[in-house]
């Protein structure tokens, strides 16, 4: 199931990755706390979490610190990003297993929860439903899935307005017009962004129910849904 995640996150990009999400995602640290709370509502004390798009390790690190009995399987197609994740999560390495690849590389056994944060907008539209179905297949009935990624209306001019807002919020200090335009063009051409309504419909079509929006930070939305 090829997509463009591994080509985006490799080489020098990995070295600067950790600085990106806190700058680009409103309330990034609070987002991890929200995810922790939502998963804990339906998790056994020693639950297992599947993390799709685990490169970088920040998500696993935050959840492992909050829940010392949980264990984690993280999947990511970028070997460079997994090496970063291994360093970031090293204090918890007894509870973390990392797998290079896509969702098909994840273990088959049923997990108690799954997360996919800031990853789905890299997955082509034609692979989104299959990816969600494969996530559902790996979850026990009633398990929570948390998804967080770019999602906003796709009709113009709303689409361009939301792209511009996302870029303006996340640009580093001192960035000029050329850098802003480059970022806007990258989002327009390299990412797969669906409207919130399409996101909910696809989750339901993949076998999830009780889909709820729990987070909205400018252009980024977060949903929690449950394996039906």
Paired tokens of 192: 């797969």
Longest dimension (CA), the chain: 50
Length of the chain in terms of residues written:
228
- pLDDT of residue 172 exceeding 90, the answer is no
% of the chain at pLDDT higher than 90: 86
Q: How many of the other CB atoms lie within 10 Å of CB of 142?
A: 12
Mapped onto helix, strand or coil, the DSSP state of residue 150 is strand
Tokens standing for 1?
A: 């199931």
pLDDT at residue 76, rounded to an integer: 96
| pLDDT for residue 122 | 95
Q: The pTM is what?
A: 0.91
Contact assessment for residue 224 and residue 38, using Cβ atoms and an 8 Å cutoff: yes
Helices assigned H by DSSP within the chain: 5-8, 12-15, 20-24, 28-40, 58-66, 79-88, 125-137, 158-170, 177-190, 196-205
Work out the pLDDT band at 9, boundaries 50, 70, 90: very low
| pLDDT value at 125 more than 90 | yes
């Amino acid at each position: 199931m090829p997509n463009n995640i591994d080509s985006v996150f490799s080489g020098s990009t990995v070295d600067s990755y950790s600085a990106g999400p806190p700058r680009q995602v409103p309330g990034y640290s609070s987002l991890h706390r929200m995810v922790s709370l939502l998963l804990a509502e339906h998790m056994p004390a020693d639950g297992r979490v599947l993390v799709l798009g685990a490169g970088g390790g920040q998500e696993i690190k935050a959840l492992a610190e909050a829940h010392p009995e949980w264990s984690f399987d993280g999947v990511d197609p970028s070997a460079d990003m997994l090496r970063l994740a291994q360093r970031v999560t090293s204090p918890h390495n007894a509870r973390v297993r990392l797998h290079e690849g896509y969702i098909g590389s994840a273990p088959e056994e049923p997990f108690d929860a799954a997360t996919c944060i800031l990853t789905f907008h890299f997955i082509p539209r034609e692979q989104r439903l299959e990816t969600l179905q494969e996530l559902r297949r790996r979850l026990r009935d009633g398990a929570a899935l948390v998804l967080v990624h770019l999602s906003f209306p796709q009709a113009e001019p709303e689409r361009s307005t939301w792209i511009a807002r996302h870029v303006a919020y996340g640009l580093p200090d001192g960035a000029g017009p050329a850098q802003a335009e480059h970022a806007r063009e990258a989002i327009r051409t390299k990412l797969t962004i669906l409207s919130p309504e399409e996101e909910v419909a696809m989750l339901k079509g993949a076998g999830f129910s009780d889909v709820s929006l729990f987070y909205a930070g400018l252009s980024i939305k977060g949903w929690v849904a449950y394996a039906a």
